[in-house]
Amino acid sequence: MRIGLISWLCLIGPSVIAQSLTRGPYLQLGTQTAISIRWRTDVPTMGRVMYGLSAGNLTNSSTESISTTEHEIRLTGLTPDTQYFYSIGTTGQVLQQGTDNYFLTAPAKTTKRKIRVISFGDCGMNPNNNQTNVRDAFLNFRGTTPTDLWMLIGDNSYDGDDASYQANFFAAYQTSLMKNAMLYAVPGNHDYSNNSTLQASHAIPYFSIFSLPTKAESGGIPSGTKEWYSFDYGPIHFVMLDGYGTRNVNGNDSRFYADTTNHPEVVWLKQDLATTTQKWKIVYMHFPPYTQGNHNSETEADLIAIRQRINPILERFGVDMVLLGHSHVYERSYPLHDQYGPMSDFTASPSSYIYPKDNSTGRYDGSANSCVYKSTSARKKQGTVYVVAGSSGALGYNTALNPHPVMVSSQRTQGGAFYFEVEDNRLDAKFIQPNASTYIISDQFTVMKDVDRIQTITVPTGQSTTLTASFISDYQWSNPADGTFSASGRSVTITPAPGTTATYIVHDSKNCVQDVFTVVGTATMFTTKAGNWNDPSVWSGNRLPTRADILQLKHSVSISDNTEVHAQKITYDPGSKVQLGNQAKLWLNQ
């Protein structure tokens, strides 16, 4: 008996229907123990992800329960800070797999390893191959080193519809960066198609294309919306803002800068920044408060309003860096504070808006006036770097406009991508541009936190102490009283003589950062635990006291039968005592 094609397909099930991959895969909603993998196929099937710790040994799997063309599978129970490899397809067909199909789970918030982040602004078009050239320049730069995060700064599509995303975003990136870097985004005006109706309704493909952490899945405060959200990755707190969409506030459809008291985005922003305890705070939004590219922050109302009303909030909570797009150039500012008026204010008195410690290029490359920017982990105003990186696809500027005076560096004629890496308390940033078949780094800067420390350390007799530089760089150690002392590692171990004081200095080879340690050797020994006097581990320095030692008893100790012990002097903390055994003796020299 012959059966029709449709009936036959129903009998064999959807998992073996021939299909083609039309979008992705791409990585979403990453945490320390979970990740979502999304892709699209031309016909509906039940998708499956295979994954494991090597590309040739995908021992785990997760399968969808319904047939669809829009596939999204969440993998859970993963190991933090681990590289996994994966394939996508169905139970009967593998659509894609290989050594470049991998993902990284997020590290612990306390990690000190290097976190690598690439940011593309206004990447949703390819004039004169700028989009693909910038993409390839970054791929050449990173080589085989994995990228932790891939961040989009808005105008990810210039028509805003799904077809535009497919042709001008997914087609450009899905065979390379997209399948192995965790992807986050903010929308720009073109993602909303510059449509006022869409601003209020938020009925744009952007919100269905991206799975975003609205429930604080990775830290931060829950936003309940894909319009704005935050997440933590290692020591970094990321805040992602929507500057173009509107919410109804007191009867008016308003963007977030219009009412910084009542707009829900700003209410959430203040709460989120006030709550985070992460060392680094980095914000993404599309509209730049300072630019002289193809947009002008002196005349455009949106940009003026953000500078006047949003910048004070970001700076008050100690935001380190703000990543921006919209203007199709690269511009990078000094660490700024309080520059909320026109640029003529800055030109008239730059020192009013730059702290003295930050009055350099920040390039940290040995060139003149290029020392690092310095800040602390505190939530306070201490200088914020504003980076306009809107030339990863679109490109162009108004030739009538000169570079904005707050900017240390400006690249206007060629596109690029903004890359930075964070290693504990050091951030290094680079602007990467195409150069023939490779790349160039046309700007760079470095920020260090909690450095230039001055410490006094008291060390008991016989004990050693390890001194560690507060900064990550190269190291030159010295002791002004001892010309023979030198070292080149981050740490040195010192054993001071009793009653001595010595100063140890460590600085980098560029003389930009310096720590000073004053080490005081004291003759006092003290107990570290209760126990027998003749147990060396009872005493600081892990040795037995002698008649020359001044002792401090922090714990009770016992002296064994028929044993004599000596000290110069003993002081007792409350509750401590010496228990003498039979015929035991304690001799004091005074």
CATH number, position 514:
2.60.40.1080
Is residue 122 one of the residues assigned to a domain? yes
Mapped onto helix, strand or coil, the DSSP state of residue 118 is strand
Convert the pLDDT of each residue in 1-45 to its tens digit.
344 433 333 434 444 556 899 999 999 999 999 999 999 999 999
Same structural domain, 437 and 327: yes
What is the mean predicted confidence (pLDDT) over 179-199? 90
Mapped onto helix, strand or coil, the DSSP state of residue 269 is helix
- Per-chain mean pLDDT for the chain: 94
CATH number, position 196:
3.60.21.10
Convert the pLDDT of each residue in 527-556 to its tens digit.
999 999 999 999 887 889 888 788 999 999
Mapped onto helix, strand or coil, the DSSP state of residue 383 is coil
Same structural domain, 306 and 385: yes
The rounded percent of the chain whose pLDDT value lies above 70 is 96
CATH number, position 75:
2.60.40.10
**Can you tell me the distance from the alpha carbon of 382 to that of 317, in angstroms, rounded to the nearest whole number?**
9
Is residue 291 one of the residues assigned to a domain? yes
Same structural domain, 143 and 194: yes
Same structural domain, 376 and 516: no
Q: How many alpha carbons lie under 13 Å from residue 405 in its C-beta half-sphere?
A: 15
Q: Which domain holds residue 569?
A: 524-588
Same structural domain, 86 and 232: no
Same structural domain, 536 and 511: no
Same structural domain, 439 and 531: no
Same structural domain, 494 and 385: no
In the 8-state DSSP scheme, what is residue 323?
Answer: E
Same structural domain, 211 and 354: yes
Structure confidence at residue 322 as a pLDDT band (50, 70, 90): very high
pLDDT at 17: 57
For residue 496, is pLDDT > 80?
yes
Is residue 100 one of the residues assigned to a domain? no
Same structural domain, 483 and 562: no
Structure confidence at residue 590 as a pLDDT band (50, 70, 90): low
For residue 153, is pLDDT > 80?
yes
Same structural domain, 424 and 298: yes
pLDDT at 514: 98
pLDDT at 296: 98
Same structural domain, 469 and 536: no
pLDDT at 499: 79
pLDDT at 18: 65
* C-alpha torsion angle, residues 375, 379, 384, 389 (rounded to 10): 110
Is residue 101 one of the residues assigned to a domain? no
Convert the pLDDT of each residue in 454-491 to its tens digit.
999 888 767 789 999 999 999 999 999 999 999 999 99
Convert the pLDDT of each residue in 402-445 to its tens digit.
999 999 999 999 999 999 999 999 999 999 999 999 999 999 99
How many domains would you assign to the chain? 4
Of 522, 545, 573, which residue sits at a domain end? 522
pLDDT at 498: 79
Token representation of residue 386: 């504003």
